[in-house]
Amino acid sequence: MANGFKAKIQKMGGFLSGMVMPNIGALIAWGIFTSLFLETGYFPNAKLAEVIGPTLKFLIPLLFAYTGGHTVYGRRGAVAGTVATIGVIVGSDVTMMIGGMVMGPLGAWIIKQVDKIFDGHVKPGLEMLVDNFSLGIVGAIMMILGYMIVTPIFSGITSVLTVAVDFLVSHSLIPLTEIFVVPGQVLFLNNAINHGIFTPLAIEQAAETGKSILYLIEANGGMWAGLVLAFCVFGKGMAKKSAPGAAIIQIIGGIGEVSFPYALIKPITILGPMLGGVAAVFWFQIMDGGAVAAVSPGSLIMLIVMSPKGKLFVNVMGYLIATVVSFAVTAFFLMRDKTPEEDQEVAGIDMSQFVESHSAPGEEKKAAPADTTLPKKEVKKVAFACDAGMGSSAMGASMLKTQLNKIGMFIDVNHVSIHQIPEDIDVIVTNENLYEAAKNSAPAGVPVIAIENFLDAAEQAAIAQKIKDMSE
């Protein structure tokens, strides 16, 4: 029951972040443009700055709406959702990020229900006419309702959320949000928290001030860099050996999924990133730090790129403060740990994914924690799935493809979100923490293989062999 509830939370959060993550590039483009040509930017230009407002008011919400609509009902849903959103945008004086994230999927769902009504009742030759007119009529109605009725509701919600954020900032309470954010990250809800909650609010704030501290609450990778660096020095066994590789990926690549499992080896160490995050956000608050756009992935490099004029030192120091505090707190608990060297993985978490594994002669390769009875079928496409489909899954897919090529299987291996798995996939591979959510989202009859450590070469090789055995 707990796994089912967790899967539902992941699905809801994944759906929200799924509207934002594919459009991060557009947000970064807007952020760079703003940091360069805004009145307070590096190269102020009043003419070019005219692009900033319309991009934020129209382009970003419509992209969210299109993506959400497409998730619900393909391209037809995307068009319906986008049309439904324009009325909300035009009717409001505030940026309608929330409007786009609600009206996009809603418009798609409505046209999907309308299509079901007409299904099987349209005479041959009139399908295109009915499809176009039904979408046009529904779209027009949604535009009117959005402009007249929905806009005041969403404007009120946005205003309440803005007031709540302003209250937290003005009363120096916003650093305490890390107490709730960090445990959510460990449960692989990091993308849902960042892009489903903070990013839409941060965009609104950045539109007014040119930057937002909300971009740096979840995305400050320094708090997790400190944790894995502490394991580099004070860890034991495989955790210590694997930590340097994880630290490099965390700091340079900004992929937090490689760091979260370390906190589960000794759960008390979660206080390290938690207190590191609190200290960093407190620093950002008193020094007026913030980013111009989403820091995604949460790497030090991306933080530097997204820092506005005059705030580079403040933001980098915030990263370092999070790292140092997290390192110190984690190190304190690790030094007091009396677990024997060879037993640190007693919690059931093998951190060997960052150590190249080779089986000794006669030693069986590590078996993947997956269903042993997989159906025989021709395998042409494999999906490596994670929450957002852009971070850990991209790395895992690359490694799995390499292992498949080694055994003579040259097939497509794509990285996808567990919430948007294509229908033409033959096999799905996902982290065991996301296994239930992946099973619920998988097309009927498509097997799901759980992988304990998505960067463990031996486990990847075992899964590659399992896929080859299926295909044979």
Element (H, E) at 417: strand 412-417
Nearest to 168 by CA among 12, 68, 58, 284: 284
What's the CA gap between 209 and 35, in Å, rounded?
11
Q: Which of 28, 189, 386, 455 is catalytic?
A: 386
Give the three-class secondary structure for 413: strand
What's the CA gap between 198 and 20, in Å, rounded?
11
| 52 contacts 71 by C-beta, under 8 angstroms | no
Instruction: Supply the angle between the helices 222-234 and 237-248 in degrees, to the nearest 10.
Output: 140
Length of the chain, please? 472
| 268 contacts 191 by C-beta, under 8 angstroms | no
Could you tell me the two tokens for 428?
A: 């799905």
What's the CA gap between 323 and 383, in Å, rounded?
34
Could you tell me the two tokens for 81?
A: 């959702």
Sequence-ordered list of residues with C-beta below 8 angstroms from that of 382, at least 6 positions apart, any chain = 400, 404, 411, 412, 413, 414, 425, 426, 427, 428, 429, 467
- Both ends of the chain: CA-CA distance in Å? 36
| 21 contacts 13 by C-beta, under 8 angstroms | no
Task: State the virtual CA torsion across 115, 120, 123, 127 in degrees, nearest 10.
Answer: 30
Task: Centre a 10 Å sphere on the Cβ of residue 311 and count the other Cβ atoms it contains.
Answer: 21
Give the three-class secondary structure for 358: coil
Q: Is 232 among the residues known to form the active site? A: no
| 447 contacts 375 by C-beta, under 8 angstroms | yes
Phi, psi of 177 (to 5 degrees): -65, -25
What's the CA gap between 135 and 76, in Å, rounded?
8
Distance (Å) of CA 304 to CA 126, 166, 250, 314: 56, 25, 15, 10
- State the catalytic residues: 386
